[in-house]
Amino acid sequence: MDIIFDHVVVQYDTASASALGPVSCVIHGGECVLISGPNGGGKTTFARVLAGVLLPISGSLHLSDGRQRQDWPANMVGWLQQEAEHQIVGTSVVEDVMLSSVWHAKSRREVVQRTHRAIVRTRMRGMERRYWDTLSGGELHLSAVAAILAQQAQILVLDEPETMLDASAQRLIAEILAEQKRERTTLIIVSHDPRWINFADRYLWIAKGLAREISQHEMQESMSDDWTRFCRGVVELIGAEKWIEDSERCTPGKLAGYLWP
């Protein structure tokens, strides 16, 4: 099922200009679209519209069968926010994942199966009874992913899916998304991380509220420039300008290793 943005415009109450739009594009069912662009450019707003938490002030978001966003089934879209703590509703890992299962499963047996599979897949075994406020940022992130897997959504919208994760957990997320891709789940990944470039099928660059499709090569170049500017800004803030002279150091892992040895 294709997702169609038809001249979508979003404007926040206190803003004089639109936060997004007009945006017109089609995301084909079963494909993976990587979205990037400068901070504040409209990427997260785009994700929120897909998730159904924001409605456009004009234009429409609908499926290829004509159903408007507000008429989509509740389990159609799974949304991973940047701040995972904002989407945790249970008091513990297992309760949060089970609540997601309860909302979407058809029987108690299916609830248990969905919950178990999601916890095992995200390697949260042994942490099921942990309260959410005792979890690290990375563990919270994986718990949120587990709840989304239990939902069994047809469309996954992932805003910075690698955030707060160590290298091992990042590889796990990549494996999970690769499985979802093989199962023809529609994936929309919002990220500044170049690891997703070869993974994606298509690329959207969102800046100043406008979205345009670009090539893989353009995305590679744009991300490289954007990341270099970010690196320079960080090291200038901490007074380590000489560290940035070697551009090969500008990778997420090396910068993290420098800042948090």
> Residue 124 and residue 122: Cα distance in Å, rounded?
5
pLDDT at 213: 96
- Give residues with Cβ within 8 angstroms of 260, minimum separation 6: none
Strands of the chain, DSSP E: 3-10, 20-27, 32-36, 58-63, 77-80, 155-159, 186-190, 202-207, 210-214
Report domain extents, the chain: 3-216, 217-261
pLDDT for the residue 86? 81
pLDDT of the residue at 50: 96
What was the pLDDT predicted at 251?
Answer: 62
Two tokens, residue 190: 């919002």
The pLDDT of residue 136? 87
In this prediction, the residues of the chain whose per-residue pLDDT falls under 50 are none
Tally the residues of the chain. Answer: 261
Say which CATH topology domain 3-216 has. Rossmann fold (3.40.50)
Q: How far apart are CA 1 and CA 72, in angstroms?
A: 12
Instruction: Return d(Cα 137, Cα 132) in angstroms, integer.
Output: 10
Give the pLDDT of residue 201: 97
